[in-house]
Structure 1
Amino acid sequence: MAPAPARAYAGMPTWYAASAAPAPARPVLEGAHKASVCVVGAGFTGMSVALELAGKGYDVVVVEGERVGWGASGRNGGQLINGYSRGLDVLEARHGPQVARDLGKVALEGAAIIRERVARHGIACDLVDGGLGVALTARQMRGLEHEASVWADHGHGAITVLDRAGLRDHVRSDRYVGGILDPLRGHFHPLNFLLGEAAAFEAMGGRLFEHSPVERIDESSDHPRVVTARGEVSADFLVICGNAYLGDALPRLSSRIMPVSSQIVTTPPLGDLAEKLLPSNVCVEDANYILDYFRRTADGRLLYGGGIVYGGQDPVSVDAKIRPGLRKTFPELADVPFDFAWSGTFAMTLSRMPEVGRLNPRVFFSHGDSGHGVTTTQLLGRLLAEAVAGQHERFDVFARLPHLPFPGGQALRAPLSTLGSLWYTLRDRLGI
């Protein structure tokens, strides 16, 4: 008998879990299994590559330590922000014009993949088009204008620059001096999107196991193995997408990233006030180094996020992390209660670019989207699938990017990063 659908994920205290679509509880991995491809992790990257490969006719097994979307993929702000955690101009200065052109060619593909899959598979995830980047100072506004110009140089000329008056058609806050409106941004319910992908994957014959944390990975043979407490998978190819949740299963990967937690709250449904504060229903993120981001939900709440903790620990109080920024943005909500407050942990690299590569010709990995992963993971899932199928050109654009370990190793990466963030936060406050 099939397990009964579960409407909420027990132990996951998020608005997304409470409003999740019904989803079956998948089986635990037991016994020995074989597959063409084994994917570790059922988050954004893992489900993206699994769905791509299933669509190509591969026999794919996905092994997930908790449930689909349990980690950052099912807990994030739900904003589709195009590009990477570093601008294309910064990447050109680091790596040269050809690398920037190659990265620019695919920078819009991640959001396009989301829209394509929502339409193809009929995924109900409250997808809304349009997003704002907003500036708190004149210096930040010049930066956003430059960002729009760089995007235009790479073929995306639809971004509109807004002054303070124009911005009020979209966000009613006196905190901002202007912004840029990008119609190719957007927002959605990330957990419901993932659950829709998982259902589509299984409809194609894919096998998905939950509550099966990986304890050991044998990458050395012609048929790499993934071993859990109660089972194992032997495959022709292995794709590792554990990101900040990989644990100690493969230390030489997990040591190259730093877990970072971000915090999110949702208010109760606000009725007409939600539409008054965000009349065009676009999502918003500010231009601070440690930024705030917010949007309306489909049931009329305000979802507001921000704050980070290097090292990935949950803060003592999510409320204390988020409320000061919320009060400055919307004084009308200064004392509003929060129905939900949670943290999610993402993985950051020293370069702030995703680290993608091969451990050997049969083992691929991707991690470290550095807080910019909603769209990038969709793209990288497709490129990983291409690489498994023997098409390496686009994959290698990312695989060739240089990456260095954090100075001071695992012991000092969090405190040193905190010191750096304090400097940039001071610059934001001083407007320099």
Structure 2
Amino acid sequence: MGNDYIDTFYRRTLTGDRRYPALGEAAVADVCIVGGGLAGLTTALELARRGRKVALLESRRIAWGASGRNGGFVCAGYSTGLENIERRSNAHDAETLIRLSMEGVEIVRNNIAGLRIADAAPTPGILKVLRHDGGDTLKRRRDSENARFGMRLEFLDSDQVRAQLVSKSYHQGLLDPDGFHFHPLNYARALAAEIIRLGGDIFEESAALSVERVQGGHEIATAGGRISARHVVFTGGGYTDGVAKRLKGSYLPIATYVLLTEPLGDLLQQTIRTKAAIGDDRRAGDYYRIVDGDRLLWGGRITTRTHDPRNLAAQLRKQMVGTYPQLKDVKVELAWSGLMSYARHLMPQIGRMRDGLWYATAFGGHGMNTTAIGGKVIAQAIAGESDRYRLFAPFGLDWNGGPFGRAAVQLTYWTYQAMDAWRERHNKA
């Protein structure tokens, strides 16, 4: 079918493949969620647990987009740093936002444990490494975040990093033992099954075509039916279409690429000697982890171009071999891409547009923690439990600049890449 999952490692290792019907009649719900990625699923699950009748509309399949084909990283923090968050917000709220991101990690962890999602295959440890010599700065960050937020970051010097990652590209690193990596598609589908068990409805291949305000709430139309609901939550990402024009105009669809190698065999111990997932410090840096025992899942190359280059696998492989020359003869079995949504302020967009109309989006580059906390704070607001969603108000629906904004973002990434390359060459000099 045209809307089936694309060929990825996650598709190939999917446990079960339950399909949900398309909406084919009129239905009534307390809340209608538009978008079946991890933010939408978490929103629906949190509301279903609170006894709300939920109906979730997905235009393709559950977690068909970035939610089901990403790197699988779950760790605290955002795509932008604490100082930038404080500039738009304030010191107190910025600290609270960081703690929310930590809470998001625990939401995912607790769902995996509580729902016994063994096929999510959670593996502890996120190792963030420098491609330049910056140990003193990294130590200060460790000390600050451990003292301020109760994190347990561990500093690794160059020898310790290179003992685990056999590459001359890396210097120091920070290990987050509380972060983990997992199988996002199996996780997403387990959330969907729990939503159904709790009495919710999920409709696949049911794109929302319009959302109209009516007495007592909203009416959401699809090609096959309509849903009446008091509340509507938009949780689409890089694949959002024109039904939410203000949202679509507030973030940019950003592509990232991923490859899967053949089994490494004995090369594994000559290359990567840790089970932690790895990401480097560059703006459009590499992120990777070992999956399926001894295969390397490698991602990177963020771009505003939404169409795959013809030599996608070759481009990614060049990055991998440039970091680990010992992998020069390793074959790539599979390569794919996915569209994330990025706001220009590099924070998630979580809030309310008007009474009964909510949004939780722009989760690109943050890891899975923000989809979880975004869904939870919106559910709490709808249930009247909390107004924590207001913490994200300073990071609203800024216009993305249209085609000029896309060009500006691409130019910014190229500039960052050039600066990163210069810094690395300078360190080798």
Q: Name the TM tier (shorter chain).
A: over 0.9
Partners of 2:48 and 2:246 in 1: how far apart? 29
The residue that corresponds to 2:57 in the other structure is 63
Partners of 1:144 and 1:370 in 2: how far apart? 24
Counterpart selection for 2:375 from 370, 376, 381 = 381
CA deviations 1:57-103 (Å, max 9, x no partner) are 11111110110110000010011131111122331244221221221
TM-score, normalised to structure 1, is 0.93
Q: Which secondary structure does the structure 2 equivalent of 1:103 belong to?
A: helix
Counterpart selection for 1:239 from 225, 233, 239 = 233
CA RMSD of aligned residues (A): 1.9
Structure 1 residue 138, shift from structure 2 partner: 1.6
**1:134 has 2:126 as partner:** no
Is the Cα contact below 8 Å between 1:125 and 1:193 reproduced in 2?
yes
Aligned AA (1:106): L
Counterpart selection for 2:76 from 69, 79, 82 = 82
The residue that corresponds to 1:353 in the other structure is 347
Trace 1:161-172 onto structure 2 (pairs within 5 A).
Answer: 161-172=155-166
Partners of 2:68 and 2:150 in 1: how far apart? 29
Trace 1:156-305 onto structure 2 (pairs within 5 A).
Answer: 156-219=150-213, 221-305=215-299
Is the Cα contact below 8 Å between 1:73 and 1:190 reproduced in 2?
yes
**1:53 has 2:47 as partner:** yes
Partners of 1:146 and 1:233 in 2: how far apart? 52
The residue that corresponds to 1:339 in the other structure is 333
Partners of 2:339 and 2:140 in 1: how far apart? 30
- Shift of the 309–157 alpha-carbon distance from structure 1 to 2, 3 Å rule, reads closer
Is the Cα contact below 8 Å between 2:5 and 2:61 reproduced in 1?
no
Counterpart selection for 2:361 from 367, 386, 390 = 367
Is the Cα contact below 8 Å between 2:32 and 2:54 reproduced in 1?
yes
Structure 1 residue 277, shift from structure 2 partner: 2.6
Aligned AA (1:114): V
Partners of 2:221 and 2:367 in 1: how far apart? 27
TM-score, normalised to structure 2, is 0.94
Q: Which secondary structure does the structure 2 equivalent of 1:353 belong to?
A: coil
**1:413 has 2:405 as partner:** yes
Unaligned residue ranges in structure 2 (runs of 5+): none
Q: Tell which deviates more after alignment, 377-386 or 239-248.
A: 239-248
- Shift of the 379–335 alpha-carbon distance from structure 1 to 2, 3 Å rule, reads same
- Shift of the 377–244 alpha-carbon distance from structure 1 to 2, 3 Å rule, reads same
- Shift of the 221–291 alpha-carbon distance from structure 1 to 2, 3 Å rule, reads farther
Q: Which secondary structure does the structure 2 equivalent of 1:359 belong to?
A: strand
Is the Cα contact below 8 Å between 2:348 and 2:395 reproduced in 1?
no
Is the Cα contact below 8 Å between 1:261 and 1:308 reproduced in 2?
yes
Q: Percent identity at matched positions?
A: 31
Partners of 1:428 and 1:201 in 2: how far apart? 44
CA deviations 1:24-70 (Å, max 9, x no partner) are 11101111100111111110100011111111111111110110110
How many residues get paired? Answer: 422
CA deviations 1:342-375 (Å, max 9, x no partner) are 0000001110001111121211101112321411
Is the Cα contact below 8 Å between 1:89 and 1:150 reproduced in 2?
no
- Shift of the 115–157 alpha-carbon distance from structure 1 to 2, 3 Å rule, reads closer
Q: Tell which deviates more after alignment, 42-51 or 93-102.
A: 93-102
Structure 1 residue 298, shift from structure 2 partner: 2.9
Is the Cα contact below 8 Å between 1:219 and 1:363 reproduced in 2?
no
Partners of 1:287 and 1:89 in 2: how far apart? 16
